[in-house]
């Protein structure tokens, strides 16, 4: 019967392996810096795991990483990743780890060529009986392409030096099944960053996470709060790192983690080929999301975007449409503005409305025919086949420089504007006569680094509601007699 290890509790970072950029050699000094940065907040270290790119490391490199980690660990346990597809190689790595002084070996389910359940059992049995070292089973079906069968785990849990299982599946049903069947014999460790809180609440003993080298103090606090039964605060902490945890989980092999660490001043170099270069490249939008989330956590300084929200007289804010204050006055065009939200979610909506036969109608048609580069206008729709009335164009104030910015404008901004118009019409704040006879153009100023779609939606809705209220207020209603006089006299732009 296995004996649970008292030290196998808490937070363990699955360390990335730093490489020199040009030569791809292991950068031992960078490894030491990384360990020193997270050591005060962790209970141990894990080398050469999935995040550490173990398939790309030689046997000698993996042993050396254990030695370097032990030199920096200050007496805290070091778990050595000993992943290999063959039993012989995994056993050799485990023996190396034992000789180097590791506290345990992390052994992944055999991959690439998939043995039967009996073969999986035999793989772990041979390793467990072939080395005098605690063994942690490793379930990660995302890359192994199969689960470590629960029935096999039940049998393995009877071996004296099988002490734990790391579950990186993210499948809480599987995790809870393990706790039910073998949790009294071996420790279960969560290895999926997105489900730490529910796993801890369910009874796992600790965590081995890629993100634990980026924000280990958060996970240490979550671990403590769950142990104390303070789940509400623990939930808030988990939610605060959920997006970044999701990015790390979606971009395995340490690529996203290395990007985050570099932003924090810990340059771990690129991954090894074939992940190096285009093989593991992160798109600009993902890097921007990582940066913003690190800013929220206080890990890096806030990067300010240089731009201004429009100011000055409202009637002077429509020059991009070639609509001047004189035209607004002459044709009795309606204008309104609204501002809502704070920080990255601050939004300003400047709205102009008027008859289809006015210069505004011409501007509406021109924006669809000859769109401004990077600021293409979009017809406002509530559903794919439901155009809002009055017909409305959404025009970004700022050029959209990347897909993330465009997604914020043409996604939640457009949806919130449409909903605000529909609600205003249903509540009688837009006169029925405007539905078919007028058009509107909304100029939206959205922060270039906005990323929270839900918060942005709320800000746009509030700002658009304000703008609509001002636009269709009684004192802002077009002067119909004046408009008819201008029309008879052939008035227009210029």
User: Where in the sequence numbering do the catalytic residues fall?
Assistant: 138, 166
In sequence order, the 6+-apart residues with CB closer than 8 A to the CB of 318 are 324, 328, 335, 350, 352, 441, 443
51 contacts 68 by C-beta, under 8 angstroms: no
DSSP 8-state class, residue 19: B
Alpha carbon of 408 to those of 49, 161, 401, 447: distances in Å? 36, 52, 12, 9
d(CA 248, CA 193): 8
In sequence order, the 6+-apart residues with CB closer than 8 A to the CB of 397 are 310, 348, 350, 375, 443, 444, 445, 446
Half-sphere exposure of 34 (CA within 13 A, CB side): 33
Residues in the chain: 494
69 contacts 12 by C-beta, under 8 angstroms: no
d(CA 100, CA 102): 6
Alpha carbon of 370 to those of 128, 360, 375, 441: distances in Å? 70, 15, 11, 15
d(CA 156, CA 300): 44
In sequence order, the 6+-apart residues with CB closer than 8 A to the CB of 300 are 263, 264, 291, 294
Alpha carbon of 199 to those of 177, 205, 209: distances in Å? 12, 9, 13
Measured N-to-C along each axis, helices 242-250 and 231-240 cross at an angle, to the nearest 10 degrees, of 50
Longest dimension (CA), the chain: 99
3-state secondary structure 80-141: EECCCCCHHHHHHHHHHHHHHCCCEEEEECCCCCCCCHHHHHHHHHHHHHHCCCCEEEEECH
Strand partners, 106: 81, 136
- Identify the CA nearest to 218 among candidates 201, 199, 193: 193
Rg, C-alpha atoms of the chain: 30
d(CA 282, CA 370): 33
CA–CA–CA angle 193, 197, 202 (5° rounding): 115
């Amino acid at each position: 019967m296995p004996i649970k290890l008292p030290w196998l509790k808490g937070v363990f970072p699955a360390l990335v392996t730093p490489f020199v950029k040009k030569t791809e050699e292991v950068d031992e000094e960078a490894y030491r810096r990384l360990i020193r940065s997270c050591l005060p907040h962790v209970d141990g270290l894990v080398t050469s795991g999935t995040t550490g790119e173990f398939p790309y490391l030689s046997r000698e490199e993996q042993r050396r990483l254990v030695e370097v980690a032990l030199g920096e660990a200050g007496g805290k346990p070091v778990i050595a990743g000993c992943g290999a597809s063959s039993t012989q190689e995994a056993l050799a790595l485990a023996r190396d780890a034992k000789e180097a002084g590791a506290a345990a070996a992390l052994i992944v389910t055999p991959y690439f060529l998939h043995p039967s359940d009996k073969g999986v059992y035999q793989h772990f049995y041979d390793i467990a009986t072939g080395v005098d070292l605690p063994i942690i089973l490793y379930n990660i079906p995302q890359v192994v392409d199969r689960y470590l069968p629960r029935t096999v785990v039940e049998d393995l849990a009877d071996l004296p030096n099988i002490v734990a299982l790391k579950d990186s599946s993210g499948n809480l049903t599987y995790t809870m099944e393990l706790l039910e069947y073998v949790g009294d014999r071996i420790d279960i460790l969560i290895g999926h960053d997105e489900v730490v809180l529910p796993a801890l609440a369910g009874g796992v003993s600790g965590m081995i996470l890629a993100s634990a080298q980026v924000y280990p103090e958060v996970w240490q606090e979550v671990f403590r709060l769950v142990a104390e039964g303070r789940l509400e605060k623990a939930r808030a902490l988990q939610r605060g790192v959920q997006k970044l945890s999701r990015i790390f989980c979606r971009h395995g092999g340490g690529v996203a983690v290395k990007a985050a660490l570099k932003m924090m001043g810990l340059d771990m170099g690129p991954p090894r080929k074939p992940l190096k270069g285009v093989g593991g490249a992160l798109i600009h939008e993902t890097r921007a999301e990582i940066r913003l989330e690190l800013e929220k956590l206080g890990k890096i300084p806030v990067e300010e975007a240089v731009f201004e929200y429009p100011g000055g007289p409202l009637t002077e804010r429509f020059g991009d449409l070639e609509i001047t204050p004189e035209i607004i006055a002459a044709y009795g065009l309606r204008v309104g503005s609204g501002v809502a939200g704070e920080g990255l979610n601050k939004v300003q909506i400047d709205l102009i409305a008027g008859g289809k036969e006015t210069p505004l109608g011409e501007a509406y048609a021109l924006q669809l025919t000859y769109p401004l580069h990077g600021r293409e206008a979009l017809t406002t729709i509530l559903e794919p086949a439901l155009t809002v009335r009055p017909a409305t164009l959404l025009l970004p104030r700022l050029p959209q420089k990347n897909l993330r910015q465009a997604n914020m404008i043409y996604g939640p901004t457009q949806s919130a504007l449409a909903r605000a118009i529909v609600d205003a019409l249903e509540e009688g704040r837009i006169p029925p006569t405007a539905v078919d006879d007028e058009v509107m153009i909304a100029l939206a100023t959205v922060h270039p680094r906005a990323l929270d779609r839900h918060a942005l939606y709320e800000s746009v809705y509030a700002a658009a509601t304000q703008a609509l209220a001002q636009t269709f207020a009684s004192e802002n209603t077009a002067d119909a007699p004046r408009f008819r006089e201008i029309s008879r006299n052939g008035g227009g732009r210029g």
